[in-house]
Amino acid sequence: MKLENYIAGKWISGDGDGSPLFNSVTGEIVATATTKGLDFAAALAYGRKSGEPLRKMTFQERGLMLKALAMYLLERKERYYEVSYRTGATRIDSWIDIEGGIGNLFANASLRRQFGDESYYVDGEYAPLGKNGTFIGHHIMVPKEGVAVHINAYNFPIWGMLEKVAVNWLAGVPAVVKPATVTSYLTEVMVRDIIASGIVPQGALQLICGSAGDLLDHVQMQDVVTFTGSASTGRMLKAKASIINNSVPFNMEADSLNSSVLGPDAVPGTPEFDLFIKEVVKEITVKCGQKCTAIRRIMVPENLVEDVQIAVGQRLEKTTIGNPTTEGVRMGALAGQDQMREVKEQVALLMKESQIVFGNLDPVEAMGADGSKGAFMSPILMRNDDPFNNSAVHNIEAFGPVSTILPYKTLDEAIALTKLGLGSLCASIVTNDEKTARTFALGAASYHGRVLVLNGDCAKESTGHGSPMPLLVHGGPGRAGGGEEMGGKRGVMHYMQRTAIQGSPSMITAITNIYQPGAKQKEVLLNPFMKHFEEVEIGETLITHKHTVTETDIINFANVSGDHFYAHTDVTSLGGTLFEGRVAHGYWILSKAAGMFVENRKCPVLLNYGIDEARFTKPVYPGMTIGVRLTCKEKIQQEKKDEDDIRKGIVKWLVEVYDQDNETCAIATILTMVKNLVD
């Protein structure tokens, strides 16, 4: 079978027979792949032009698109598992790749709730730029008008694609995905389903199966490039003239020499010692050690080295190797014979300074398979007793089921050892001592993209050392590439242009579609609570009746709320304080404000959804008169959860409470859930 590329809305084959791709378990040819004859410049141009519909979608629409796609792919997951076994992955390995990748779609779909109901994002708060409030500044973020070019590694042919496209699609940017050729046959299967679903707009996704050729020579200033793989390849690509001359953002996530530290308190017999052993063995054997986050350096108090070596060896001894479809197999094969040869070459280099204490480089017997035809190898546990002087372990990575034990004397030594890797994706420490955890996390953080602290309290829910999460940053400094992927809202912003805007409050309101303080208000006589979601307008303002505050108001609220703070109830205790007399509760001011603007009759407002922020800016004393300006600040349409659900949206209101001198006493943003006029 010859893999096809999906370019410019069509499935097409490259010229010639292509390179053979092998089943890593049987050694048989699965498919061939080639990109010879493809016009990559035209593919990128097509992506930029066809990305307009995606850019025009709102964050809410894009998020719902991701959710629909995730559900669609989840229904078809078994067909991906069947193909994944050919890559050497066990069911558990494939679960990380397949359902972990789909999980990224779900997680990013949920992120839509952190954005407004626009195609762009208004970032942060406004900045006053003039004394009189007539000149302000803000920041908006709009989708880049290019394509996201993703060059991925062979170890996660599905997760590697989905964790990236989920983010750029939510940002409104189309993608060109170039998976590693050796396992691209699995990526192609899922891409066919994505295209067939019709859920994503035409042009939102293109696929290249085979060599990237001159793809990066054609990137332009609006494009974004991401790379996952070896640091040497990443540096070469990052140095391309097209990247440098066009200032193209280049995010690199490179394989690194990640470490895990056994805390001094985690001695044999403690839950933490057992957790450490389990985690180390899992990271050696899951995906046959082919994870960019896998533990390569095992750092152990020098008095516990023998205990750890024996315990890890005993668990590794029980690891059955073979055909992933055979019952009882715990570790499958590497992605191919070439990968296996490379791993063994790296182990041979490490052996010049370290000794193998478990496993060997000899061919292995594989359950349910011919070990001589598949890419099977034994897990390898090494030991380096002088890690500060024997430095190969900090520079050479065997990208397979290989890890090395390193002793340390003090926690400071352990931190120093982690840093010898010159930048890693992840470091973990297993400890039940809070001081140890704090010292390690703060000491190691500058050299790592992520730090996991594992103990008995979080063990059941922890996803482990090797599992980056979609809402947290994935990447690391130095050797790890210096990039960031995923990261929740932070990741989405990598695909958007942040632009400062300046002008009058009314102009900034018109641009952002979010009311800015000081902008013109459209005074209305009809209480806006009587309006349906579609009928409410940004900037429309209700000016309420006024109320003169009495001591009875304050005393009654103290009794109802139970808030008897001295400033509200004990006028004899005010000496030396900020207050001139009995002062009204801040929450009474907000409660009274609500009573002044809330509509008593049945209306389209379904409920009070909450308060985003509130500030009490001036004391309110008995005898003062307060009024309220209620202004529509922002509107966000919500989706219907099912056919029986009411169509509704969230309206954010700016509540300004002012006194008889027109000075602001309190300001808040409240949220109401409002019914739509049209269901």
Which pLDDT belongs to residue 195?
Answer: 96
pLDDT in tens, 593-621: 999 999 888 889 999 889 988 999 999 99
Contact between 130 and 505 under an 8 Å Cβ cutoff? The reply is no
Q: Rounded distance, CA 110 to CA 103, Å? A: 11
Residue 58 pLDDT more than 90?
yes
Residues 86 and 31 sit within 8 Å (Cβ to Cβ): no
Q: What are the two backbone dihedrals, phi and then psi, of residue 623, each rounded to the nearest 5 degrees? A: 100, -20
Asked if residue 353 is part of any domain, the answer here is yes
Whether pLDDT at 569 is above 90: no
In this model, does residue 283 exceed pLDDT 90? yes
Segment 278-286 shows an average pLDDT of 95
> Could you give the CA distance from residue 264 to residue 412 in angstroms, rounded to a whole number?
12
Q: Which of 264, 351, 258 is nearest to 300 (CA)?
A: 264
Q: Residue 509 and residue 175: Cα distance in Å, rounded?
A: 32
What integer best gives the mean pLDDT of the chain?
93
Given a cut of 90, is residue 134 above it in pLDDT?
yes
CA distances from 513 to 117, 396, 580 (A): 10, 53, 41
CATH code of residue 348: 3.40.309.10
Q: How far apart, in whole angstroms, are the C-alpha atoms of residue 623 and residue 329?
A: 80
- pLDDT confidence of residue 600: 86
447-479 pLDDT, tens digit each: 999 999 999 989 998 998 988 888 998 999 999
- Say whether pLDDT at 282 is over 90: yes
Please indicate, yes or no, if residue 515 is contained in any of the structural domains: no
> Could you tell me if 248 and 262 lie in one domain?
no
**In this structure, is residue 9 part of a structural domain?**
no
Is residue 324 assigned to a domain?
yes
- The pLDDT confidence band at residue 643, using thresholds 50, 70 and 90, is confident
**Is residue 292 annotated as a catalytic residue, yes or no?**
yes
**Annotated catalytic residue within 253, 272, 353, 540:** 253
With cut-offs at 50, 70 and 90, classify the pLDDT of residue 331: very high
Residue 539 has pLDDT above 90, yes or no: yes
**What integer pLDDT is reported at residue 137 of this predicted model?**
96
Domain count, the chain: 3
Residues 180 and 263 in one domain: no
Question: Domain for residue 129, yes or no?
Answer: yes
Give catalytic status of residue 253 as yes or no. Answer: yes
99 and 217 fall within a common domain: yes
Domain match, 207 and 342 both: no
Residues 80 and 197 in one domain: yes
> What pLDDT sits at residue 534?
92
Residue 578 pLDDT? 86
In angstroms, what CA-CA distances link 480 with 184, 235, 421, 426? 24, 11, 9, 9
Residues 276 and 424 in one domain: yes
Query: Same domain for 245 and 103?
Result: yes
Domain membership of residue 610 as a residue range: 521-675
Burial class (CB in 10 A: 0-12, 13-18, 19+), 131: exposed
| Residues 220 and 310 reside in one and the same domain | no
Q: What are phi and psi of 425, to 5 degrees?
A: -70, -35
* pLDDT higher than threshold 90 for residue 320: yes
What is the predicted pLDDT for the residue at 152? 93
H-assigned helices in 518-623: 551-561, 566-569, 586-597
Q: Is 169 helix (H, G, I), strand (E, B) or coil?
A: helix
Rounded to whole angstroms, the Cα distance separating 463 from 448 reads: 18
What proportion of the chain, given as a percentage, has pLDDT over 90? Answer: 80
Query: Are 430 and 342 members of one domain?
Result: yes
- Whether 290 and 437 map to the same domain: the answer is yes
Please give the pLDDT value at position 231: 85
Question: Is residue 24 domain-resident?
Answer: no
Whether residue 648 has pLDDT greater than 90: yes
Q: Could you tell me if residue 485 is inside a domain?
A: no
Indicate whether 80 and 140 sit together in one domain: yes
Residue 170 CB neighbours (<10 A): 25
Domain final position from 463, 480, 506 = 463
- φ and ψ at residue 145, rounded to 5 degrees: -95, 35
134: phi then psi, degrees, rounded to nearest 5: -95, -5
- The H or E element spanning position 563 is none
Quickly list DSSP for 270-290: SHHHHHHHHHHHHHHHGGGG-
Q: Are residues 214 and 276 in the same domain?
A: no
pLDDT-derived band at 4, boundaries 50, 70, 90 = very high
Question: What CATH number is associated with residue 534?
Answer: 3.10.129.10
pTM: 0.89
Nearest Cα neighbor of 217 from 37, 39, 34, 51 is 39
Q: What is the CATH number of the domain that holds 151?
A: 3.40.605.10
Q: Quote the pLDDT of residue 38.
A: 92
Task: Indicate if the pLDDT at residue 487 is higher than 90.
Answer: no
Paired residues of 404 in beta bridges: 297, 382
Query: What pLDDT does 89 receive?
Result: 92
Residue 28 resides in a domain: no
Name the percent of the chain lying above pLDDT 70. 100
Give the mean pLDDT of 377-388: 96
Q: Let me know: does 427 contact 259? Beta carbons within 8 Å.
A: yes
Does 639 have pLDDT greater than 90?
no
What pLDDT, on a 0 to 100 scale, did the predictor assign at position 381? 97
Residue 163 has pLDDT above 90, yes or no: yes
Cross-strand partners of 628: 657
Q: Which of 209, 288, 292, 665 is catalytic?
A: 292
Stated as kind and residue range, the H or E segment containing 632 is strand 625-637
